[in-house]
Amino acid sequence: GAYSFTMCGRLFRTSMLGDAILDMPDRLPHEDLVATARALFHANQVAGIPESVYYYTINPASISSNFTARHIDGLFYALNDWVHQAKTRRMMKALETAIGQGAERLINTFALRCVRAPNMTAPEKLALLRDINGRYDQLPVPRGEPAYPGTRLLARIASTNGEDEAAALRLV
């Protein structure tokens, strides 16, 4: 099914939302990716309902709408925290494929947001995409053949090895 790691539309017992869940750097973009995963790791029981009961409104002036390198910092803080949470609970082996798949889906979304960002030039986008790919390479999760447009773009940019800047810029 279509699951997300955002806190939108989730209910949590207030007793579980202490420092172990919510302690993270101030003004971290996409902190919900961290908090939701931590809550799931700490939960004794999780339940869901099939009905939509929450609708998200996109605010063009919000911090999430103006894509910057800080968004990438927030994403990789979250992905590395997922790995840390799994390792701490000795669940990494069981979860590494799922974490890898979740990471690819999110990285795809962020790569496409970078390409579509109206506030950045093509060279700025290319530099940020290379940064995303470098950080993706460092994640200790399986990385198979790219399954999504954004991760396929990252692979194509990486294949230029920084030698053919013009060809890489045409990809962006």
Secondary structure (H, E, C), 44-60: CCCCCCCCCCCCCCCCC
When computed from its CA atoms, the radius of gyration of the chain, rounded to whole angstroms, is 17
Q: For 42-50, which contacts have Cβ atoms below 8 Å and span 24 or more sequence positions? A: 42/16, 43/16
What percent of the chain shows pLDDT beyond 70?
88
pLDDT at 25: 81
Taking 60 as the threshold, does the pLDDT of residue 2 lie above it?
Answer: no
Taking 90 as the threshold, does the pLDDT of residue 156 lie above it?
Answer: no
Q: What pLDDT, in 10s, does the model give residues 67-125?
A: 889 999 999 999 999 999 999 999 999 999 999 999 999 999 999 999 999 888 989 99
Query: How far is it, in rounded angstroms, from Cα 105 to Cα 132?
Result: 13
Residue type, 31: E
DSSP H helical ranges for 49-121: 69-88, 92-116
What percent of the chain shows pLDDT beyond 90?
44
Can you tell me whether residue 156 is helix, strand or coil? Answer: helix
Of 132, 131, 93, the residue nearest 109 (C-alpha): 132
122 contacts 165 by C-beta, under 8 angstroms: no
